Amino acid sequence: ADVAYLRSVLPSTTDDAFFDYLATLDASEVTITAIPEGSVVFARVPFLQVKGPLLVVQLLETTLLCLVNYASLVATNAARFRLLAGPDVKLMEMGLRRAQGPDGALSASKYSYIGGFDCTSNILAGKLYGIPVRGTIAHSFVMSFSSLEEVQPRELPPRAGGDPVDLTSLAVSWLQRVCDLLQTPPGKANQGELAAFVSYAVTFPCDFQGLLDTYCVRRSGLPNFCAVALALHQLGYQAIGVRLDSGDLAQQSKEIRRVLRACGAHFQVPWFGSIPIAVSNDISEQSLEEFRREGSEIDMIGIGTNLVTCPLQPSLGCVYKV
């Protein structure tokens, strides 16, 4: 079929023997040798050597450059983020919506993992390549609730067993105590947001997390999260994290850590102060430098656009020479 297509697009004067020859090509005659693992690659120094019949290695040029250029570009970009973040911060690739098409998105997930990222939000990449998948609550989920009456189901059994408890009522009682501690009016906490958190907690009591900035972090998101997390703790469960997606991420992370530690100390919940804090929102290399300079309390960073599109160098100019 390939030879027939070439006949249709090449000049009609092309010798039939050429097409007969194409049908005999054998890629097994080609050997590809990479530089030894751990070697340093310099500019204008080959890192792949391809040997075989001239026409075959010429046909491989475009394929090999396509496979090498984007893969190396994304993996290198990911490695730069990893080096800036340090070994202890978790990095999540979340560039699917900004990538150059679905193929580019899957490739970016794969090569950012090779470059040092810990996980991806792209579940298809997780299925195909075995990359760990992670995610957080979406703003759209939080905004889909408007009142506590919408929470169904409301009851959750204690982790150790026993009769189910109305988690909504328990969270409301904890909200009053948290707001008293933080000296913020309970009426400022958005009820739809609290309903979303409770609904999520009833469904995923062992994996509860909160997105804090849908409305107001200080007056709503943080008190609502603490209330639900403390209600879960009363039933034997432990929240796994919070996320910020706007504003001064480094400064807010420090403020959130102070509140979490205050709640943990006041309510005698030792693990509360070390709840992981995740951030996202157009994170760049400069962002990571600022986080480190300001001494943030960030534990996990979700990076999308500036990872998968490589804006600082959108192409890697590898070439193929005979």
Residue 64 corresponds to which tokens in the numbers above?
């090999």
CB-side exposure of 272: number of CA atoms within 13 Å?
Answer: 25
DSSP at 97? G
Domains and CATH numbers, the chain: 1-129 (3.20.140.10), 139-279 (3.20.20)
Amino acid at residue number 99: A
Q: Model's pTM, two decimal places?
A: 0.91
Q: What does the angle CA 266 – CA 155 – CA 211 come to, to the nearest 5 degrees?
A: 55
What is residue 39's predicted lDDT score, i.e. its pLDDT?
77
Q: How far is CA 239 from the centre of its chain?
A: 19
Q: In the predicted model, what is the mean pLDDT of residues 91-100?
A: 95
Q: Considering the chain, what is the average pLDDT of its residues?
A: 95
Q: What is the 3-state secondary structure (H, E, C) of 130-163?
A: CCCECCCCCHHHHHCCCCHHHCCCCEECCCCCCC
pLDDT in tens, 230-258: 999 999 999 999 999 999 999 999 999 99
274 confidence band (pLDDT: 50, 70, 90): very high
Mean pLDDT of 85-98: 96
The pLDDT of residue 37 is above 80? no
Evaluate if residue 126 carries a pLDDT over 80: yes
Minimum mean pLDDT among 20-34, 141-155, 268-282: which range?
Answer: 20-34
**What is the DSSP-derived secondary structure letter of residue 133?**
B
Q: What is the pLDDT of residue 35?
A: 82
> Does 59 score more than 80 pLDDT?
yes
Q: How confident is the model at residue 297 (pLDDT cuts 50, 70, 90)?
A: very high
| Residues 84/90/91/94 CA torsion (nearest 10 deg) | -150
Given a cut of 90, is residue 44 above it in pLDDT?
A: no
**41: pLDDT strictly greater than 80:** no
Mean pLDDT, rounded, for 134-144:
95
Q: Within 13 Å, how many C-alpha atoms sit on residue 312's CB side?
A: 12
DSSP3 helix / strand / coil % (the chain, rounded to 5): 50, 10, 35
pLDDT of residue 316: 86
